Amino acid sequence: MLPRIILTLLISGCMLRSLSGQATISGKVLDEQGQAAVGANVFIRGTFDGTSAASDGSFSFSTERLDTLILTVTYIGYQPFEMKLPSGQDSLWVEALLRPAASELAMAVITAGAFEASDEKKSVVLRPLDIVTTAGATADIAGALNTLPGTQRVGEEGRLFVRGGDAHETQTFIDGLWVQNPYSSSVPDLPARGRFSPFLFKETTFATGGFSAEYGQALSSALILETQGLAEESVTGVSLMSVGGGLSHTQRWERSSLSLSGDYTTLGPYTSLVPQNIDWLKPVVSKGGQLVFRHSPDENALLKFQSSARFSGFSLQYPGPEDVSSQVPLSLNNGNYYANASYRDILGEKWSLKAGAAFAYDREQIRQGFQLDRVEQSVQAKAVASYHFAEQSVLKMGAEIVRGNFDEKYLESPGNSFHTLLKDTYTAGFAEVESYFGPRLAARFGLRAAHSSLLGKGSVSPRLSLAYKAGTFSQFSLAYGHFYQKPKEEQLRYNQQLGFERATHYILNYQYQREKRLFRVEGYYKKYNGLARYETDAPWLSDNSGNGFSKGVDVFYRDRASIRNGDFWISYSLLDTERDYLDFPHASTPSFASKHNLSVVYKHWLNRLNTSIGFTYTYSSPRPFNDPNKSGFNTERTIPYQDLSFNASYLTNLLGQFTILYVSVSNLPGFEQSFGYRYSSQANEEGEFTRSRVEPPAKRFFFIGLFISIGEKFDD
């Protein structure tokens, strides 16, 4: 997966020449005072070709060369700008001057709880190119998002933990559809990776709280991904790397595009060269492929389809559950299939429609003395209609249905087996209104209702967001809402009479953005109710009496102007959280939560060397863990977590083809990293519970890759 990500990303982000049969439209969007119209929508009328104006008002995009091109610019609070472009030219420069519709100030925009990419008026933080060039992220979406405020670095997991919430409380959505298994399969204390390439997506919204009523089944956070439209051009990619290789081809026609890709990864040669903290019997082997099809039947409609299949497995010596001081062979094999289809269309002047369906299947087989065979599958359908009943107001209405199966067979020993079969039909509907009351005030109110056939219960979730424009470059925003989620299957396997778990979000945000600099600070309070809870060793007696809270402050600063060819951001999060849930004897801070989290990311482009370099420093304060040999609960602390990672990309050509040489290394100084301890489930003869240390698979991770784009030229 990694070579496809880097190849697609860097070629898309670094190649600046015009494409055959296309015209490049560039320019600036300014208001009547000559200020940049940040986030203005710039597009060719009657097509999906366009972009958003950057923080300095600049824009650039490619479109098909046609006889007649009408450039349209829209910006909230200003009259639309239209200009007929001359035909037959490869490149054009346009300066669009906007006239105010009602006010000289840009409209307020709701930002509480949301980081959005590819939409600068809503606080751009990460573009797809940022994800792959963020050192330490290893081209993983979750890895890059873990450098943003509100996240906690949980190195043994690799998933997103947001504002005191467990990883399962953050849900992923692709083109509005829920993703059943967004991460690769793994075992406890071995980090997972995201399954999807960041450059499959044109927009990324990372909602750390207070998100739209369109999205449910997430107590803490929603990662909302919108895939790319038609591919820009036909291209073939070849990748060779230290852990495998890949091959891809994209074909573009007038109204359609098709992409096929495959890759093979094996860590065997790598683990034989780099010292490991794991005794591998069979290092990770992964192979998979993907198909992406796009078709635009007319200027207002777009059909998207994608499917992927991946097979992976490994085996290693792993601590035994009863006595972790003994090493027992453990193997894992996983097969994952995912398909997603969506359709959008504009129906007249006031209506638009989005509809989609998704299928997911995941099978996991684990062997370690016991045998575990788990199959999860789901089918989803969803439709959303939008009605623009006023110039600055829109009503969204939608419904969805998800049919899911969870089938788990556990064989502890011959004649001692357990079978869990959970079937659920989850239905939901929502309505949401977003309106602007003058240029300074925006509001969004939504209501979501849902029902689970497995639980036999329903939920109703009100949600409200407001934004107030305090000045030309600053604004305040707040959000409130109820968010429900089913308990995890681990609890439902014992008791299916549980109800929905609930979190109530309160968020206040201040943001200042000017001249490629962005500062935001956000305070929040999150109250948990109805969490699954049970007495120790009695999960079949679980109920919804659990509760908890999370509160804190997130600070973010990004600067793309102060250092020439440089870009950096600083994130800091202060978290205070406790829960009384699961088998906790009393309210306590969960083991995945650290009070202080800091990330500093720096990137620099070296013109003379055609090279980009990047550094990321991450710090997390000690996390709690429980030592059964001592009195008290979760009273012990890990050592602080530190990491300094580096990467570099060198752009050149090989046999006349555009080529990228990419190198990266994590934990460059070799900081000691420990995530606590795992303890035996039974005491030894001395009455002590033995333990083994939880640490990364290796002190550092090195990566080298060569990525070639056949058919593309590169001029030094």
pLDDT tens per residue, range 473-492:
889 999 999 999 999 998 99
Question: 86-90, 93-97, 188-192, 613-617 — which one is most confidently predicted on average?
Answer: 613-617
- The pLDDT, as a whole number, for residue 110 is 61
- Does 408 share its domain with 557? yes
**Full-prediction pTM beyond 0.75?**
yes
The pLDDT of residue 433 is 93
Distance CA 536, CA 644 (A): 40
Angstrom distance (rounded) from CA 139 to CA 150: 20
Q: Torsions phi, psi of 355, nearest 5?
A: -140, 150
In this prediction, residue 314 carries a pLDDT of 96
Structure confidence by residue, pLDDT tens digits, 92-129: 888 888 877 644 335 566 666 555 433 333 333 456 67
Residue 684's CB is within 10 A of a number of other CB atoms, namely 11
The C-alpha angle 302, 307, 308, rounded to 5 degrees, equals 150
**What's the total number of domains in the chain?**
2
At residue 111, the pLDDT reads: 63
| Per-residue confidence (pLDDT) for residue 341, from 0 to 100 | 97
Q: Which of 294, 312, 300 is nearest to 348 (CA)?
A: 300
Average pLDDT over residues 422-450: 92
Asked if pLDDT for residue 180 goes beyond 50, the answer is: yes
Do residues 354 and 483 both lie within one domain? yes
Instruction: Give percent of the chain with pLDDT exceeding 90.
Output: 62
Q: Are 386 and 369 in contact (CB under 8 A)?
A: no
From its phi and psi, is residue 189 left (phi > 0), alpha (psi between -120 and 50) or beta?
A: left
Domain boundary among 107, 141, 157: 107
- pLDDT value at 596 more than 60: yes
pLDDT given for residue 114 in this prediction: 59
Task: State whether 482 and 547 are in the same domain.
Answer: yes
- Tell me: do 225 and 288 sit in the same domain: yes
The mean pLDDT of 611-615, rounded to a whole number, is 95
pLDDT digits (tens, 9 = 90+) for 395-423: 999 999 999 999 999 998 887 899 999 99
Residue 359: inside a domain: yes
Strand order in the sheet with 58-64: 58-64, 22-30, 91-97
pLDDT class for 447, splitting at 50, 70, 90? Answer: very high
Lowest mean pLDDT among 104-118, 482-496, 500-514, 567-581: 104-118
Q: Is residue 112 part of a domain?
A: no
Q: Is residue 716 part of a domain?
A: no
> For residue 66, what is the domain's CATH number?
2.60.40.1120
DSSP letter, residue 78: B
What average pLDDT does range 598-627 have in this prediction? Answer: 95
Work out whether strand 221-227 and strand 170-174 pair parallel, antiparallel, or are unpaired: parallel
Confidence of residue 280 (pLDDT cuts 50, 70, 90): very high
* pLDDT in the model for residue 350: 87
For residue 89, what pLDDT band results from cuts at 50, 70 and 90? confident
Tally: H helices and E strands in the chain: 5, 38
Q: What is the mean pLDDT of the chain?
A: 88
Instruction: Tell me, rounded to whole angstroms, the distance of Cα 250 from its chain centroid.
Output: 24
Residue 136 has pLDDT above 70, yes or no: yes
- The residue written with tokens 């519709």 in the block is 101
The edge-to-edge listing of strands for the beta sheet with 201-207 is: 114-117, 201-207, 221-227, 170-174, 177-178
Average of per-residue pLDDT across 459-486: 93
Asked if the structure places residue 122 within a domain, the reply is: no
Shared domain check, 453 and 378? yes
What is the distance of C-alpha 693 from the center of its chain?
30
CA–CA dist 694, 688 (Å, integer): 19
Assigned domain for 116 exists: no
* pLDDT higher than threshold 80 for residue 546: yes
395 domain-assigned: yes
Find the range with the poorest average confidence among 19-23, 220-224, 251-255, 407-411: 19-23
Q: What is the SS3 string spanning 665-708?
A: ECCCCCCCCCCCEEECCCCCCCCCCCEEECCCCCCCCEEEEEEE
Residue 670 region, left (φ>0) first, then alpha (ψ -120 to 50), else beta?
Answer: left
Residue 557: closest CA among 567, 565, 543, 544: 567
**Could you tell me which residues are beta bridge partners of residue 523?**
508, 553
- DSSP 3-state assignment of 308? strand
Q: Report strand pairing: 501-514 vs 517-533.
A: antiparallel
Q: What is the Cα–Cα distance from 711 to 259, expressed in whole angstroms?
A: 16
Last residue within a domain, chosen from 107, 141, 160: 107
Looking at residue 306, its pLDDT comes to: 96
Q: What is the dihedral of CA 161, 163, 168, 170, to 10 degrees?
A: -90
CA proximity to 216, closest of 432, 454, 428: 428
| Confidence (pLDDT) at 122 | 38
Same domain, 545 and 631: yes
The residue count of the chain comes to 716
Among 153-157, 197-201, 636-640, top mean pLDDT goes to 636-640
Return the pLDDT at 77: 65
pLDDT tens for 13-29 read: 333 333 345 778 889 99
Last-in-domain residue among 46, 72, 107:
107
Question: Higher-confidence residue: 438 or 609?
Answer: 609
Across 266-288, average pLDDT? 94
- H helices of 192-251, in order, are none
pLDDT of amino acid 109: 64
Render pLDDT for 616-637 as a digit per residue (tens, 0 to 9).
999 999 999 999 999 999 999 9
pLDDT in tens, 288-336: 999 999 999 988 899 999 999 999 999 999 998 889 989 999 999 999 9
Q: Is residue 113 assigned to a domain?
A: no
* β 221-227/201-207 pair status: antiparallel
Confidence of residue 185 (pLDDT cuts 50, 70, 90): very high
Tell me: do 189 and 52 sit in the same domain: no
- The DSSP bridge pattern shows strands 596-606 and 566-580 to be antiparallel
The DSSP letter of residue 168 is G
d(CA 624, CA 500): 27
**pLDDT given for residue 93 in this prediction:** 87
Determine contact, residues 642/671, Cβ cutoff 8 Å.
yes
Q: What is the pLDDT of residue 1?
A: 42
Helix then strand then coil, in percent of the chain rounded to 5, is: 5, 55, 35
- Residue 38 pLDDT: 76
Q: 258 versus 206: which is more confidently predicted?
A: 258
- Answer yes or no: are the C-beta atoms of 174 and 225 closer than 8 Å: yes
**Minimum mean pLDDT among 25-39, 133-147, 508-522: which range?**
25-39
The whole-angstrom separation of Cα 205 and Cα 508 is 18
pLDDT of residue 263: 94
Q: Residue 20 has what pLDDT?
A: 40
Same domain, 42 and 142: no
Q: Residue 215: pLDDT above 60?
A: yes
Compute the distance between CA of residue 169 and CA of residue 500 in angstroms, rounded to an integer.
13
Do 517 and 380 share a structural domain? yes
**CATH code, domain with 498:** 2.40.170.20
Range of the domain at 519: 128-710
Q: What is the pLDDT of residue 17?
A: 32
- Give 239-297 as a DSSP string: EEETTEEEEEEEEE-SSEEEEEEEEEEE-HHHHHHS--SSEEEEEEEEEEEEEEEEE-S
The answer to whether residue 86 scores a pLDDT higher than 70 is yes
* Sole residue written with tokens 């600046």: 16
Q: Which pLDDT band holds residue 76 (cuts at 50, 70, 90)?
A: low
Asked if 36 and 147 sit in the same domain, the reply is: no
276 and 219 both lie in a single domain: yes
Please determine, for residue 3, whether its predicted confidence score (pLDDT) is greater than 60: no
Assess contact for 700 and 649: CB atoms under 8 A. Answer: no
Answer whether residue 588 is part of any domain: yes
Q: Could you tell me if 454 and 487 lie in one domain?
A: yes
